[in-house]
Amino acid sequence: MATKDTSSFHQEPSDLLPDIKGPIPGSKAKAELKLDEKYISPSYTRNYPLVVDRALGSTVWDVDGNRFLDFNAGIAVCSTGHCHPKIVEAIQKQSARLIHMSGTDFYYPQQVEVAKALTEIIPIKESKRIFLSNSGAEAVECAMKLARFHTGRPHFISFYGSFHGRTLGAMSLSNSKTIHRRKMGPVTPEATAVPYAYCYRCPVNRCYPGCSLECLDQLEHVVFSKRIAPDEVAAIFVEPVQGEGGYVPAPREFLARLRDLCNQHGILLVFDEIQSGMGRTGKYFASEHSGVVADIYCVAKGIASGLPLGATVASSRVMTWDSGSHATTFGGNPVSCAASVKTIELLKDGLLDHCREMGERLLSHLRPLVQTSPIVGDVRGFGLMVGMEIVSDKAKKTQAHDLRNEIVMECFRKGLLILGCGPNTLRFCPPLVVTPSQIDWACETVAKVIRGHESKA
């Protein structure tokens, strides 16, 4: 497969493969794990005992000097790779000049710079405005409040399998795991979940392509006629590719029909592109694969290559709330803004094309496993946002949760950092700077590990 010269956005050495020197966790990692157990909240979801010391590009070193290949990118955050020299330089320069002032009360140019760069790539055609925050959940909270403010309506619709964040508002839209809500409720009662177009496991037993999107009938013909009048719905929140729910891309027609429904009833369509945006799918935003445009976009994660930043972008016609109705102390911090402007520059300067090429390479390795392995049920995705479902019975599509976790663990022991999502999906989301040989090695390793687990299904 032909690949471009990627030296302009790679740091050297860019092409390292794993090197595991001894048992993991090693002695230094073990000591850290003990301290962590004493001091850190047990609510985190650590999958394996990786204690990170430093990272560069797609390579991560642990505190014992073992070298790993990162196929998580800090959960789809380190889009330009770890510690990209141009990002580090932008952060260093900005932090020597101004670290904080609070955009809520004062002006500084970095907020406008990032707003200009972001609004240029957000697909809304009209003039746009932007609210800057610190995280994905905050970007979603902002969209919820803005949608209510703008429409004067109380209700929200979201989808089964969705994940929009862990704050109480965003959590009320999230429906991917019961543990997120258990003992935390009540959440916003005006949030209703309906089936998503999860075509491999069609919620209404139809089979895309060729279906009539019967999964949306529940919203259109049940919820809107028996439960909530559509003119009381402020917004429909949807991930164009569900992330935590299992890397499930929505078909183009599904998003188009949501757009039509929203137009028909004066509802705002919100795309949560927090995981799927900022180039991860080979386009700036995953929804661009469908051509459907939302009214509000929520962006975070890869937006600033690892610094905390969230953005809620809407047309100027929608973002009309009054001074004081929404604000934040830290959001849109100048250092995060500088990192974000540089991130967008790198995407434009070839990283987006590289991601598309690497994504094709990744899929060309992984797709054949659906035919050759009895435990690979489905491989799907765009660019470097690819999911692989592990099943114990292919005909019945039985979700193999434990088996998936064993595969994740075995990959870790071999030096490949991969995570699951959904009950039984392996997620592939390396930094966008990942190289061809790193893709090849990761896919060979996963295939080998899968072969070794086939008899356990």
Ligand X SMILES: Cc1ncc(COP(=O)(O)O)c(C=O)c1O
- Closer to ligand X at the Cβ: 293 or 300? 300
Q: If binding is defined by CB under 6 A, does position 274 make contact with ligand X?
A: yes
Burial (CB < 10 A; 0-12, 13-18, 19+), residue 29, is buried
Q: If binding is defined by CB under 6 A, does position 243 make contact with ligand X?
A: yes
One of 69, 300, 314, 335 touching ligand X (CB under 6 A): 300
Q: If binding is defined by CB under 6 A, does position 171 make contact with ligand X?
A: no
Q: If binding is defined by CB under 6 A, does position 238 make contact with ligand X?
A: no
Q: If binding is defined by CB under 6 A, does position 233 make contact with ligand X?
A: no
Cβ of residue 243: shortest distance to ligand X, in angstroms?
4
One of 84, 150, 155, 164 touching ligand X (CB under 6 A): 164
Q: If binding is defined by CB under 6 A, does position 244 make contact with ligand X?
A: yes
Q: If binding is defined by CB under 6 A, does position 165 make contact with ligand X?
A: yes
Q: Are 404 and 426 in contact (CB under 8 A)?
A: yes
Q: Is 195 helix (H, G, I), strand (E, B) or coil?
A: coil
- Closer to ligand X at the Cβ: 140 or 261? 140
Alpha carbons 219 and 234: distance in angstroms, whole number:
14
Cβ of residue 179: shortest distance to ligand X, in angstroms?
14
CA dist list (Å): 38 to 9, 32, 35, 41 = 40, 10, 5, 9
Q: Are 308 and 328 in contact (CB under 8 A)?
A: no
Alpha carbons 418 and 408: distance in angstroms, whole number:
6
Alpha carbons 36 and 278: distance in angstroms, whole number:
32
How many residues bind ligand X, per CB under 6 A?
Answer: 15
Q: If binding is defined by CB under 6 A, does position 410 make contact with ligand X?
A: no
Q: Closest residue (Cβ) to ligand X? A: 136
One of 70, 239, 288, 295 touching ligand X (CB under 6 A): 239
Q: If binding is defined by CB under 6 A, does position 272 make contact with ligand X?
A: yes
Q: If binding is defined by CB under 6 A, does position 196 make contact with ligand X?
A: no
Alpha carbons 258 and 313: distance in angstroms, whole number:
19
Record the tokens describing residue 52, joined without a space.
């990170």
In sequence order, what are the residues at sequence separation of 6 or more whose Cβ sits closer than 8 angstroms to the Cβ of residue 37? none
Query: Residues in the site for ligand X, rule: CB under 6 A?
Result: 75, 135-137, 140, 163-165, 239, 243-244, 272, 274-275, 300
